[in-house]
Each structure stands twice: as structure tokens, then as C-alpha cells.
Amino acid sequence: MNFLNKFKVFIVFLISFLITSCSVNASDENVQSTAIPANGTLEVHYIDVGQADCSLIKLPDGYNVLIDSGNRGDNEYITEYLKNQGVSHIDVAIGTHHHEDHIGSMRNILANFDVDKILLPEGDFDSMVYTNMLYAIEENEVEEIRPTDDYSFTLGSAQFLVIPPKSDYNGDPNNISLVCKMDYGSRSFLFTGDIEQERESDILSGGYDLNSDVLKVAHHGSRTSSSEEFLRAVSPEVAVIQVGEGNDYGLPNDETLEKLSDLGAKVYRNDYLGDIVVRTDGETIEVDYGGNNDIIEVDGGQDNGTSNIKKTETPTPESGGTESDADIPENSGVSSQESSDTNVSGACYIGNKNTKVFHSPSCGSLPNDENRVYFESREEAEESGFRGHKNCVE
């Protein structure tokens, strides 16, 4: 074979190799890769938006993911919350489905933050909230993705798998919810939108590994979701229910709470606790709520703690509690004497360094002593980037 023929063979081989390589890389986006070691502490904020869903995922690498955006009336609260968390850029927004209590503030989120892409389920919906969101997507040049097959992506050290519906479920918006599983180190989180038991059954039939340490309970804890089979497949240590206080639907349903209790899951509810933050370094899991901090035992048997966590009630003189006792959450680990020793004289408000929320001194949800910062006035707290706690600051 002469030199020219050898050169031609080499060129053909090189072109074939490049084509094959490009094909593999193009398909990688929808195929989960092997586990990536965790790199720092990841936070998931289950924002208290009442009878609605909104979750912020903050990765230590600087990436941010927002899953759902509450109702229209939650816009200012969500915007302020995100800004207090230092969020200006959102890498991925996910609207699990088209109901207002999940995409209500998405239009404003897209207008007020730099959003790279948004994931939505297939199909249209006849509402002004949905239409306005579509206008905002176009106006702000956000990449819109409507997956019909499993869609995976990686941000920093976190891997995401989005499971779209494989049916239109006769137009039921709840069942077409995008389901998202996030893996970080050895820990997993599952976000379920408002899927009902029919969709849960279909997902189970798909053979997915649903086992997750933290579950965002489907459809605000409705009886029509959270089948025993689905919950056993997830087997969560922590279950978060995004639900509004005194809602008209009587949610979460007692039957759902009983199933979670039977599994040994610790249940955290926005209506009891306000904003809930789950932190993990890829191994340990901590849950922060109202100034309290729970360390969750993972892979070590079921936790023996209360299965339905409630905010610490403020003691009253009739119950034997003193005024100084009332300032300290029951689980804070700080004694009355320690608290008085560390108080700053003349402080009118007490802030939480982690959540950027400030409280009145008599609030039953004060932060642990080491997380406190003291302010002499409301103006000082707000100028420092803190917002008032909705239950104690008018």
C-alpha cells in the first residue's frame, strides 16, 4: 500500500472516530453517570409559601436550582428569600406542573433573576399564570426544555434525574408532574410535585431506584398520593410536607402521616415550622427549622425522635415556664443562664445568621445561641439584610 492510500485510510479512521465520539457525548446528557464525590455542604430550602411548593437547592459549587415557585401572591416573599440567600443566578428552574401553586411566581422569578433554563412538562394549560410564564420565558431568553424521556444533568458535584410522564393521564395536571431525584455524595433527595398514586405506580413499574434520604411528599400530603408501595420504595429518613396552615383541604391527610410514621420517617411541615433547610455534606444530614437543628441518623436504624416535628411552643407562667425560659427553644441545647449571659443589653430583635430572619425576644422559634445576632431596632435588622419572622414580627 503506497503512502497516499495509507493516508486515506488514516483520514477515514479519524473521521469515524470523531463521529463516534460526538455521538456518545451528545447522548450523555440523558444518561446518569457514575457517582461524583461531594464537594462541601449542599442546602435544600423548603420555603414556606403556604399551600404551595417552592424549593431552592444551593450547591457549594455556586450553582442554584429552583423547583416550583409558589402562588402569585408569594412573589415578594420568594424574591426576598432568594436574595437574602445570595442568589442572583439560577442555573435550572423546574416547574413541576402547570397549577398556580407551583408556577405562580415563575414569571417574576424569570424577570428578576438570571435564569439559564427552565424544565416544564409537555402540554399547555388554560390560565393567565401559565401564559404569562411563557411570555416571560421568551422575553428573558430562557432556554425552555420539555423532556419526554428521562433527562439527566450534572451541576458541580450533584447529579439530577428528571422523570417526565409517559402518558397524558387524561389531562390531569397533577399526574404529569416532573419528578426529580438529586444525588449528592451518598445522599439522595426526591421531589415529587403533585403526582397521584396512578403515576406513582407507573414510576415503580419503570424500575427506577427511588430510594432517597429526603422526600418532598407529593401533593401536600394528600390521601390520593403516597401509596404504601411508593413510600417503601423511597424509604425516606426525612419527609418534608409543603402545606399551608389551616388550609381548606385538611392537608396533610392523617392516613399519609400514619404511613410515614410507620416507615419511621421524621416529618417536617411548613405549616408548623416555617422555612425548613436540609443540609448535607454527602454523608451527614441536618435539618434546620425555627432556630432548631436536628441531626438525622442515616443507615443506622430508624430515628427514635418524634415523627411529626412541631415548632417549640413558648412556655407561659401558668405552665411553670419563666420569661427567660420562653426565650429558648426546647431543643436549642442552651440553658436559661447561658442565654442570659450571651444576650446583648438593649437588643430589641434577635436574628438568625443562617436564615437571615429576625425575631422578637419572646418568639418561640429563636435560633440557637451560636447562630444569633442582635439588633437594637427593626430598621437595623432590615438594613443588615434580615427579614422579620412572620409569626412574631408584625
Q: What is the percentage of the chain residues whose pLDDT exceeds 90? A: 64
Residue 42 and residue 184: Cα distance in Å, rounded? 8
What's the confidence (pLDDT) of residue 346?
Answer: 58
pLDDT category at 304 given cuts 50, 70, 90 is: very low
| pLDDT tens readout for residues 117-165 | 999 999 999 999 999 999 999 999 999 999 999 999 999 999 999 999 9
What's the confidence (pLDDT) of residue 72?
Answer: 96
Q: Cell 390531569 maps to which residue?
A: 172
pLDDT at 17 over 90: no
Average pLDDT over residues 309-313: 47
pLDDT category at 309 given cuts 50, 70, 90 is: low
Task: Give the ranges where 28-117 is alpha helix by DSSP (H).
Answer: 75-84, 100-103, 106-112
Residue predicted with more confidence, 289 or 34: 289
For residue 276, give every residue at least 6 positions away whose Cβ sits within 8 Å of its Cβ, in sequence order, or none. 45, 46, 48, 240, 268, 270, 287, 288, 289
pLDDT category at 303 given cuts 50, 70, 90 is: very low
pLDDT category at 58 given cuts 50, 70, 90 is: very high
Q: Which pTM does this prediction carry?
A: 0.72
β-bridge partners, 89? 114
Output the DSSP codes for 265-308: PEEEEHHHHSSEEEEESSS-EEEEETTEEEEEP-SSS---S-SB
Mean of all residue pLDDT scores within the chain: 82
Q: Which of 67-81, 229-243, 320-334 has the lowest mean pLDDT?
A: 320-334
What's the confidence (pLDDT) of residue 262?
Answer: 93
Task: Give the ranges where 38-193 is alpha helix by DSSP (H).
Answer: 75-84, 100-103, 106-112, 128-139
Residue predicted with more confidence, 194 or 320: 194
The upper half-sphere exposure of residue 328, i.e. CA atoms within 13 Å in the direction of its Cβ, equals 21
- Kindly state the DSSP code that residue 318 receives in the 8-state scheme: G
Average pLDDT over residues 335-346: 38
Largest CA distance in the chain: 102
